[in-house]
Structure 1
């Protein structure tokens, strides 16, 4: 039976990036403002659970992942790991135990891999920096185990190779192996398959699902693709302009969305046997509003075809619309 205790919890998490003011702003002492990339979200992950964080570019998905990986510092709220508040912890020595248990898979394998290092050095680097091995024999064993877990077999054939000698799918597997080498309990996967073709994408997703099954590892899967999120996740959280607008089971969010933005994401995706005809696709109109000028009322209102007067004035609270299904929309109530 799967352990359902929380491994991670975000409470009212905020990440605001200050805007550099102009000469007159500085002279008059006027505040320049801030980009509200993440604006007060609550989210939890249990052990062995896969949660997909879905939203379009600019919604704040990657910023959430970077905060959890302690690569960015929040400006408000709390980050709790196994119930312990680690929001303000920083520094390599203080974070060493945390980085042992939480790892991140980056989107661009080309940028994530040092072209001058061999695959053995790349995968072994976190083991050396976190001091998890005592000798060269242990290092070789752990690197080989990580490569095999990521689907690169026989692992010894990859030890002396360089990133430019690998295919795109193999490079992405090396990035996954680097995260797996330290045997983490939580992995943040930031668009890990967005740069791969469909056949390789399915293989990488299967690797992640198998790792969850074998090691009871939690996974935060960041993506802009709602059908892809449904194929892998237990729950889906929809992020729009720094706010969670809907969260629930993968089936509920995909097939019974209660927020117009979630429905728009679903309807904008071609479906085999459904809206495969491009003329039938209903694309979102316009661009995401600026996170530096957050709307007064419902933040989806500028692009919502169902908006009415109340949306212009008040931001809707998140309410329960079904079993463990929350939505922040006046119409959902």
Structure 2
């Protein structure tokens, strides 16, 4: 079980990407815009906890993960790791201790693996670059441990294989082994099972849960799949257009959502049984608005079936709607959230 100590804390985190204006913008002196990919989120991850970051494509989930792993620099806010401000720390030598403790699992395993390197060299690379081993004996031992922990057994059978000689599930396990080799305390997993079939998915998720239980490792699990988040996470944070719109325990977010967007995500999930009590709110229409042209009021209102005039003028604050349960909506109290458990389809 997670303890009460925060290993990671994001405070008002912002990531804005500048947008170059056209010729007329430059002639008329119009200011260049910006894509507000992440726009002031507050999030904490406790040691030994699995937090799922859920949202549809374009919501800013991967950008948050890249900032945490120092692959992208925030525009504003702070990134705290065990209370130390890591926001402005840059450079390979300065980041070496941090990257020894924080690793990322990428979504596309095939793209994350160098096709010219063997599995042994792929897993050994972070150990060599971070200078964590003193000789070849230690290197082989650490690589074997990582492969075994990721479920590639016996490890020696995979040393000389190349990525194209592995199945999809084995490639994803090799990516996980590369992250585990340095024995991190926090892993950011960016859609680690979205490209795998259902049977392999369950195996990979079990590997991640086992690692948390054995090593008290924290995990930020990025996904667009709400039932998947419920299966693995202690808490779920729902991200929409760079803002956290709801956060709470996995059960509260899945079975008692208090934000219309979370309800829409839940209602999009296939269910078994009668459809008599299916939808409390109409399904969302259209695409996610451009992050470069976010409305002044509630950024969710162009797609929200419950939008009111106030939504077009003001952005709602996050308010407490239950123990450890926050929701940012002017009509949070009016969302008809059923208390009984929904029957979700098997993953």
Q: Which TM class, normalised by the smaller chain length?
A: over 0.9
Residue in structure 1 matched with residue 311 of structure 2 by the alignment: 311
Contact in 2 for aligned 1:267/1:282 (Cα 8 Å):
no
Residue in structure 2 matched with residue 75 of structure 1 by the alignment: 75
Task: State the TM-score, normalized to the length of structure 1.
Answer: 0.97
Do the aligned partners of residues 115 and 283 (structure 1) sit closer, same or farther apart at CA in structure 2, a change above 3 Å counting?
A: farther
Q: How does 1:165-184 map to 2 (within 5 A)?
A: 165-184=165-184
Superposed CA deviations along residues 22-69 of structure 1, whole A, max 9, x for unmatched, are: 223233432111000000000000000000000000000000000000
Q: Equivalents in 1 of 2:293, 2:311: separation in Å?
A: 16
Q: Equivalents in 1 of 2:317, 2:119: separation in Å?
A: 48
Q: Equivalents in 1 of 2:326, 2:252: separation in Å?
A: 10
Q: Equivalents in 2 of 1:19, 1:4: separation in Å?
A: 41
Structure 1 residue 237 and structure 2 residue 255: aligned? Answer: no
Gaps of 5+ in 2: 334-347
CA positional deviation for 1:113: 0.3
Superposed CA deviations along residues 136-188 of structure 1, whole A, max 9, x for unmatched, are: 00000000000000000000000000000110000000000000000000000
Q: Equivalents in 1 of 2:96, 2:274: separation in Å?
A: 49
Do the aligned partners of residues 314 and 2 (structure 1) sit closer, same or farther apart at CA in structure 2, a change above 3 Å counting?
A: closer
Contact in 2 for aligned 1:275/1:281 (Cα 8 Å):
no
Aligned length, in residue pairs:
332
Residue in structure 2 matched with residue 209 of structure 1 by the alignment: 209
Structure 1 residue 269 and structure 2 residue 269: aligned? Answer: yes
- Secondary structure of the equivalent of 1:153? coil
Q: Equivalents in 2 of 1:283, 1:134: separation in Å?
A: 57
Q: Equivalents in 1 of 2:317, 2:26: separation in Å?
A: 36
Residue in structure 2 matched with residue 125 of structure 1 by the alignment: 125
Q: Equivalents in 2 of 1:7, 1:279: separation in Å?
A: 38
Do the aligned partners of residues 235 and 280 (structure 1) sit closer, same or farther apart at CA in structure 2, a change above 3 Å counting?
A: closer
Structure 1 residue 10 and structure 2 residue 10: aligned? Answer: yes
- Taking only aligned residues, the RMSD between alpha carbons, in angstroms, comes to 1.7
Do the aligned partners of residues 198 and 147 (structure 1) sit closer, same or farther apart at CA in structure 2, a change above 3 Å counting?
A: same
Residue in structure 2 matched with residue 101 of structure 1 by the alignment: 101
CA positional deviation for 1:297: 1.1
Q: Equivalents in 1 of 2:102, 2:293: separation in Å?
A: 33
Q: Equivalents in 1 of 2:275, 2:186: separation in Å?
A: 36
Q: Equivalents in 2 of 1:167, 1:54: separation in Å?
A: 27
Superposed CA deviations along residues 112-133 of structure 1, whole A, max 9, x for unmatched, are: 0011100000000000000000
Contact in 2 for aligned 1:270/1:281 (Cα 8 Å):
no
Q: Equivalents in 2 of 1:156, 1:282: separation in Å?
A: 54
